[in-house]
Structure formats: structure tokens, C-alpha cells
Structure 1
Amino acid sequence: MKYFPIFVDAQHIHCLVVGAGEVAARKTELLLKTPAKITIVSPWVSDTVQRLADESSQITLINRKFEDTDITHKQMIFVATDDENVNQHVHDIAHAAGILVNVVDNTPLCKFITPSIVDRSPIIIAMSSGGVAPVLLRYIRQKLESVLPANLKLLGNFSERFRDKVKQGLSSVTDRRYFWEEVLDGDIGEAVLSGNDELAEQKLDKSLIAYANGDKPAGQVYLVGAGPGDPDLLTFKALRLMQKADVVVYDRLVSPEILELVRRDAEKIYVGKAKSNHTIPQEDINELLANEALKGNRVVRLKGGDPFIFGRGGEEIETLIEHGVDFQVVPGITAATGAASYSGIPLTHRDHAQSVTFTTGHLRDNTINLNWPALVQNNQTLVFYMGLTGLPIICDKLIENGMSPDMPIALVQAATREEQKVLTGTLANITQDPETSKMKPPTLIIVGSVVELHKKLNWFNQ
């Protein structure tokens, strides 16, 4: 380990920045995130540095060339000029005086280096490659940024507030460690991240008492929208919850690629439904979620698309409320928006449609009980979920109620996934196309003149 990683108390640091260009501005912006005192010396000042100096009382701006006495009473120096002689000279006298010095973008002249930082103050993650692999370091930072909650600082502040209380309640260091792991990784941590400190504090008090008595705390259910299939479309929160779940209850529309992202040792329970083949009745699914949570488990209910768009999320929540089970809902990209975006069919367009209607094409007793006249409106896009089997009826009813037989229609199968397939036609001819009989669920139906844009805007799997 060539560089020793430390965090310096910036309250007692007076930092000198030599140079006032854009490179110096970036270092100054970083320093301004701390309480450090900053002196900038340069005969020329960029607009960015001037603005920073005008806005912050931490900065003293000296508009002249560097002088050797400028290093007096400084504990840290950044050198960011385009004059190699100046850079070398400042390095030499700073090193001789025992002052930490960094010549930007010149590693041999750096007695310290600034790491790549993920800032969730008071939580700070600093990383370094020692200057040998900056692109790799940037890649790792992007990965960390994508999985760490943007408001992780709330957890840091919450932990600080209740550290002494937990220490008083649990005398064992091991007990405290296990307790905090459960707090930060469970529903209390989620409440903090959601900004609900009052609920989090109530839960922490109950959990602390229960933990001290050896009782397992109550579980919680998370209704998570898994999106239309592409795992890259998951929200950060959905991924975080999937990776800390004890039990995952998932349906047929959750792609294998998304299931691969679930915590490895979580129990996975399949409750998928297909036409005329309901593995588990909906009422039993509702009870299953409640029972698993009452056992103390963190339960993730993974639903294709969004839990509140034809996902029966409302029904499941009603059961959870009846059993007194806490829950959260994590929205997902709907199947309709995923199918539209990945097939190049905008659901609204100034020249085509000013409204969009989502409806179900699920058959019951060989009929689709919809308000057909309301669906046949000008400048409107229709999206039918679960309508592949009832496609002939949908086309006939729309034409019967006044929609033009030439109205464009699209069938989008396996939206957003590699095997996505898009078939277009008109209300009059789509059922006659031999390819239609080859379409398989999940397939969404889009009706409207916006379908005409498919050939022009299609970008995904042309």
C-alpha cells in the first residue's frame, strides 16, 4: 500500500491553492465541502474561482504571483498552474518545510493524492488507484453511486443520534453490532431513508426492547415493481430491497435476469399466473405475504411492471393492513411505458395523441366488459394489458363503436428484453396476419395513430 489512507480534521486545516484556473476551481469546490480555511494565490483568476471567492467567506483570494512566504502556516497545498517551473518550485519548498503538497496531474510531485469520493456526509467513501488506473476507479465509483441511496446521510445522522441509547440498552458489543445490522438493513433503515424519522424512532424503541428480551422483531412487506423485464430498468431502491430480502414472492412476468439480482440465500416463492392456470389464488398470495412478515421476515413481493398498474397491489395491501403488517410500495416502470419506449411508439405525441388510456383485455365468459364508446375517441392512444387472447374481440368492438378499420395497431411481445418482438398492422387486418398467431404472452396491444411512428423511431432491436 503505497499511499496511507487517512481522513484529516479539516476544521484545523489552512490550505493554499496555487493557481486559479478551472483545475484549481475543482479542487477549491472540493475543499469548500469542508470547514477548511482556503487561500488562493494567482496572477490570473478564472470566472469560476472568482465566483467561489465572492460566495464564500472561507476563501482569501490574492491576485498576484506566488511568493515563497505564501506557504507559511499552511498545512496543505494544491498546485494547479500551467507553469512547470512554478509547480516544481512550490513542491520543493513545501516538501522541505514538511507540508503536504499535491501538484495536480503530476503524481511524482504529490506527497498526497485526493481520492475518488462518494459523498453521503457524514458517510464518506474514498478510493484510490495510486494514480495508475483512474478510468477503472471512475468505473468503480459509478457502480457504488448506483447502489448507495442518495440520502444515505440520513442513516448516518440517525445512527449518531441513537448510538448512546443503543449502547445503554445492549451491553454486549456483539449484540449491538447485530442489532445495528438489522436496523440499518431492515424496515427501520428504510423508514429513515424515506424521511420518516418519527416512525423509525418508534420502531427502534420497540426493536431495542424486543432485542434485549431475545425476541425477533416484526417483519415488513415491500411491494416492488420489477419493470417490464430489462434488469437495467430497475430502480435503485428496488435493487437494494431485493438484495436484502429474506423471502421473495414473484410472479410469471418477472424475468430470470431480474431474479438473478435477488439475494442469493433468500427463499424464492413462485406465485405466477397464466391463462386458466393460477398456481396460487390471489387470496392465498395475500395471506402468504402477511404470514411471512409476521414470522419476522423481510418480504419482497416482486411484480412485473408496476404494483399499482393491473398488479393487484391494492388487494395485497388491504390484507396486510388487516393483519397489522407494515409495508412499502416501490413503483416500477410499467409494461406499457417500457413497451412503448423500446418499440419506438410514443404513447402521446403532439401530432397524434394528447391522452392515453390503459385498460385490461382480460376475458371473462368470452367477453370484455369495457366502455367501448369511451375508448373510441379522437387523438387518444389505447393500451390493452392481457389482451392477446381477446385480440379479435378488441378489434371488432373498436370498429363496431366507430373506430376506423385502418387505425394502426401494434403487438409488443416480451418488451425491453432481447427477444422483444413488435408486429404492426390495422384493426382490420392484424388478426389475419400469420405472424399474429405466433405471438406469445406477455404481449401488450397499442392502438392509435402513434403506431405509425414505429418504423421511424424504432431503436432497440431493429
Structure 2
Amino acid sequence: MRTFPIFVSFDGRPPLVVGGGELAAIKTRLLLKRAPVVEVAAMELVPELAKLAEAGQVARLTPQPGIDQVRGRPLVIAATEDDAEDTRVSAMARALGVPVNVPDRPELCTFVLPAIVDRGEVTVAIGTATAAPVLAQRLRAWLERELHPRLDALAKLAGEFRGRVAERVPSGPPRRRFWEAVFEGAAAEAMLEGDEPKARALIDEAIEKATGEGASQGRVLLVGAGPGDPELLTMKAVRALKSADVIFYDRLVGDGVLDHARREAELVPVGKAKGAHSVPQSEINALLVARAKAGQTVVRLKGGDPFIFGRGGEELDALRAEGIAIEIVPGVTAGIAAAASLQIPLTHRDVSHSVTFVSGHEASGQEPGFEYLDLAALAAGKNTLIVYMGVTTASAVAQKLLEAGFRTGLPVLAVENASRDTERRVATTIAALAAHPESLGLKSPAVLIFGEVAGLPASGVVEDILASEEVKRAYG
């Protein structure tokens, strides 16, 4: 970000536009969206500026303004279209510390004029640091379509209640939660639909509820961060991140995901890896409970989906036992993301009628026994098996599947860092994996897909280590 966006007040001295032509008229029209009066320094005024002067919206000054005319302005726009004069005005404004803009001359500017979406009390400014003004205009057109035309009325209504809410609802997280509930709930919906009496009644009701017994306790959101690509976050997950006071996140949360958190949120890593638990699960549970009881909105951000090998069930039990309000936000799990990246279906009417998700190790960290699975039944049918956390136990997993009756040439796809820029795919077979586990060469996080679907055409580059000639002869 080369420029820093701010909103400027025009309550004091009016802004100054130097120049009286069409370009100056365009800039003056823009400033009059917020300024009651704009002062224009020019010898002659085009008809539009002359009409504005007659209406009292433009105050005319003599051309070539000096230091006294520039000092103390909220901003100055030099739009004479005369290089020498625009350069002079720019130099003078910069020397006086007054923000100055010269259209199409970025080297003479200390600020840029954004594309603006105007909803009265709600203003959206879009800038591209002068790199792509047409893109800014296109974004403005899109936002004009997306933003409700009655946002101004909603903002004004909130302004009327602001003092009363400040008196009744404690500052910090409780007050922010109150307004989040208002703007995301029925009160805002009623106001946007034009039913102001209903909106007022609902806000009154929300104030009473927010100051009632137990209102100071916070809540916990168990949020799935997906496999790593921030674009695979759900919209609900993004809203959760923007509402959080504190975020406890796993090591598998992808780069860019935490960029969606609000700036004031506290970010606490509690990542766990096989054999290297940085924060014990019991301590994580205690942290979630303590922060919620302190009145905070807590996000527990977990890679993939919270309830697929994410220990979200244990956290859920701990929170319920303490009477904490909980919300679950599902995420895209790694097995689904890997299949999507490869463009292979996990179910296919010809080759796979079911999908089974399993862990590649026991809770103790040992090789899986799969006592809970009827592997022989899976081997006999048309099924897909997805193994999580199975890189270090891949050979043992493959051997158990062979012993259960899976055919030796059954395709296997292993995917490391599914959906990320560092994604790597490897193709093999059960027999080759059992005989040469080191051939994968992958690191965690990775998933293994066993089944006929793994032999279907895949997209992109897949490293083929199907087997050595020796293994091919041995297993056919």
C-alpha cells in the first residue's frame, strides 16, 4: 500500500481548487459531495462553475493564489492544466504541509482522489495509488450495485442509539458484539426494508438483552480454516475472523488466512504437530473457556474442518461443560481440497460408491490398527479411502490394505500441501508404497487417496513413481 487512506473533514476552512476549466469543475463537483462550499481561484469560470457560484456553493478567488490563500486548507487541488502554475501551487502547498493533488501528475501529489461510493453516512473510497484508475472505477460500479441504497438510513439510526448504547452496554467486546448483532440481524434487515418502527423496537430489545443477566459472557467459534488457500475460506469464516477478540490458531492455517482478522484481534499460535505438541489440548480447552468467560469473542481456528481429525469434538465437550455459547463454522477438509486440485471425483458411479476418511496413526502416535474398519469389505467393493496424517506410516498402511485384500495395483495419489502454492502430487500403487515408502518423499501436511479414482485422469503435474521394474515384476 503506497498511500494511506483517510477521510478529511471540511468543517473548517473550505478546500481550494485552482483553475476554472472543465477539469476544475469535475474536481469541484466531487468535493461538493461533502464540502458545503468550495473556493475556486481562477480568472474565468466555465458555465458549470459559474452556476455553482450563483448558487453560493463556489466562492471565487483571484487567480494565482499566494501563501495566505493556501495556508490552513484541508486540501488543495491544482487543476489549471498549466504545468508551470500547477507545479508552483504544488510546491507551495507541500512547503506549507497542505495536502495537494494535481490531476494526472502523481509526482506533484501528496494525496490521490479515490473513486467514491456514496451512501450518505456510509462512504467507500477506492484507490489504486494512481496505477489503474479505470480499475477503481470498475470496482466502484460493482460496489454501487452491491451496497444497499438504504445504508445511509441504517447508519443514521445507529448514530441515534449510539449514546444510549454507550451508557448501557460496557465498552470493548460486549459493545462490539452488540453492534455486530444489530447489523447482522433482524434490526438491520427491517431498516433496510424501510420498516423503521420495527428496527427501533428490535434495537431497544437488543439493548435490554445485552444488559441482562449473563450478558457479559463471551462465546467461542470453532472455525475451519480450510486446507491453506485463503480463497477456500467460507464467507462465514471470514466474518468470524473479523469479529474475534482473540484467535487461537493451528500451525496448519495457511498464509493469508489470518489477514482476514481484524487489526485489533490478539493472535495466539497453539499449533500441534505429531510428536511435538506446543500447547497440550487440555490447556487449549482451558484457554478457550477462560477467554469466553472474560467476555471475549473467541475464534478457535483449525486447519481443514474442525470435526475431521481436528479434535474439535474435545473442545466442544469442554465448552459445553462450562455453559459457553458455541458456534461451528465448517471448513474445506484437505481430502476434498486435494481431489478438487487434482480434478478427480472421490465418488464415481463406475468406480467408487463411498468415501472413508481415516487417520494414518493412532491417538498414541503409533501405526494404525484399523480394528474399527472392515477393510475386507472395503477391498471387495467400489470404495475410496482417504488417509490423513499418514506420511510416516504410509508403508504400514499400504501393507495392512494388501493383507485385507486390496489389489496390488490399486492406484494411490499422495498430495502434500493441497491447495497451496507449494502443493506436490505423487502417484503410486499400494504395492509400490508398501515396498518403497521412501519413494513418496513428502512432508506433512499430506493426504493419501487409495482407490480406483486415483487412477482417473488428473489435472496438472503428478510425479509418477508407480514402481521400479523389480516391483512391477513382483506384483504385476
Smaller-chain TM-score bracket: 0.5 to 0.7
- How much does 1:355 deviate? 2.0
Question: 1: distance between equivalents of 2:326 and 2:153?
Answer: 24
Query: What residue ranges of structure 1 are gaps of 5+ in the alignment?
Result: 8-114
- How much does 1:432 deviate? 4.0
SS state at 1:394 partner = helix
- How much does 1:303 deviate? 0.5
Task: Answer yes or no: is 1:388 the counterpart of 2:414.
Answer: no
Q: For the Cα contact (< 8 Å) 1:189–1:200, is it kept in 2?
A: no
Percentage of identical aligned residues: 35
- Which structure 2 residues correspond to residues 142-181 of structure 1 after superposition, within 5 A? none
- How much does 1:253 deviate? 1.2
Q: What is the identity, as a one-letter code, of the residue corresponding to 1:287? A: A
Question: 2: distance between equivalents of 1:153 and 1:382?
Answer: 50
Question: Alpha carbons of 1:182 and 1:437: their partners in 2 closer, same or farther (altered >3 Å)?
Answer: same
Q: What is the identity, as a one-letter code, of the residue corresponding to 1:458? A: G
Corresponding position of 1:23: none
- Which structure 2 residues correspond to residues 46-445 of structure 1 after superposition, within 5 A? 133-139=133-139, 182-183=176-177, 186=180, 204-208=207-211, 217-363=216-362, 364=364, 365-369=366-370, 370-371=372-373, 372-433=375-436, 436=439, 438-445=441-448
Q: For the Cα contact (< 8 Å) 1:117–1:125, is it kept in 2?
A: yes
Q: For the Cα contact (< 8 Å) 2:346–2:355, is it kept in 1?
A: yes
Question: 2: distance between equivalents of 1:322 and 1:155?
Answer: 41
Question: 1: distance between equivalents of 2:320 and 2:231?
Answer: 32
RMSD value over aligned CA atoms?
4.7
Question: Alpha carbons of 1:166 and 1:266: their partners in 2 closer, same or farther (altered >3 Å)?
Answer: closer
Question: 2: distance between equivalents of 1:355 and 1:118?
Answer: 52
Question: 1: distance between equivalents of 2:419 and 2:309?
Answer: 19
Corresponding position of 1:446: 449
Q: For the Cα contact (< 8 Å) 1:123–1:153, is it kept in 2?
A: no
Q: For the Cα contact (< 8 Å) 2:227–2:419, is it kept in 1?
A: yes
Corresponding position of 1:63: none
Q: What is the identity, as a one-letter code, of the residue corresponding to 1:137? A: Q
SS state at 2:217 partner = coil
Q: What is the identity, as a one-letter code, of the residue corresponding to 1:452? A: G
- How much does 1:315 deviate? 2.0
Q: For the Cα contact (< 8 Å) 1:183–1:204, is it kept in 2?
A: no
Question: Alpha carbons of 1:316 and 1:153: their partners in 2 closer, same or farther (altered >3 Å)?
Answer: farther
Query: What residue ranges of structure 2 are gaps of 5+ in the alignment?
Result: 1-26, 34-114, 190-198, 465-476
Deviations 1:9-34 (A, max 9, x none): xxxxxxxxxxxxxxxxxxxxxxxxxx
Question: Alpha carbons of 1:201 and 1:278: their partners in 2 closer, same or farther (altered >3 Å)?
Answer: farther
- How much does 1:413 deviate? 0.6
Question: 2: distance between equivalents of 1:412 and 1:428?
Answer: 18
Question: Alpha carbons of 1:439 and 1:357: their partners in 2 closer, same or farther (altered >3 Å)?
Answer: same
- How much does 1:419 deviate? 1.0
Question: Alpha carbons of 1:376 and 1:412: their partners in 2 closer, same or farther (altered >3 Å)?
Answer: same
- How much does 1:353 deviate? 1.6
Question: 1: distance between equivalents of 2:407 and 2:188?
Answer: 48
Question: 1: distance between equivalents of 2:347 and 2:187?
Answer: 34
- How much does 1:435 deviate? 5.5
Question: Alpha carbons of 1:159 and 1:359: their partners in 2 closer, same or farther (altered >3 Å)?
Answer: farther
SS state at 1:393 partner = helix
Question: Alpha carbons of 1:374 and 1:137: their partners in 2 closer, same or farther (altered >3 Å)?
Answer: farther
Question: Alpha carbons of 1:392 and 1:269: their partners in 2 closer, same or farther (altered >3 Å)?
Answer: same
Corresponding position of 1:98: none
Corresponding position of 1:57: none
Q: For the Cα contact (< 8 Å) 2:116–2:140, is it kept in 1?
A: no
Aligned residues: 347
Question: Alpha carbons of 1:162 and 1:419: their partners in 2 closer, same or farther (altered >3 Å)?
Answer: closer
Question: 2: distance between equivalents of 1:338 and 1:430?
Answer: 22
Q: What is the identity, as a one-letter code, of the residue corresponding to 1:339? A: A
Deviations 1:405-434 (A, max 9, x none): 110011111111111111111100024447
- How much does 1:444 deviate? 0.3
Corresponding position of 1:73: none
- How much does 1:6 deviate? 9.6
Q: What is the identity, as a one-letter code, of the residue corresponding to 2:240? A: L
Question: 2: distance between equivalents of 1:201 and 1:441?
Answer: 52
Q: For the Cα contact (< 8 Å) 2:116–2:123, is it kept in 1?
A: no
SS state at 1:398 partner = helix
Q: For the Cα contact (< 8 Å) 2:395–2:436, is it kept in 1?
A: no
Corresponding position of 2:459: 457
The more displaced of 429-438 and 279-288 is 429-438
Question: Alpha carbons of 1:387 and 1:221: their partners in 2 closer, same or farther (altered >3 Å)?
Answer: same
Question: 1: distance between equivalents of 2:430 and 2:398?
Answer: 5
Question: Alpha carbons of 1:259 and 1:159: their partners in 2 closer, same or farther (altered >3 Å)?
Answer: closer
Question: 2: distance between equivalents of 1:199 and 1:285?
Answer: 37
Question: 2: distance between equivalents of 1:126 and 1:384?
Answer: 47
Q: For the Cα contact (< 8 Å) 1:116–1:138, is it kept in 2?
A: no
Deviations 1:42-71 (A, max 9, x none): xxxxxxxxxxxxxxxxxxxxxxxxxxxxxx
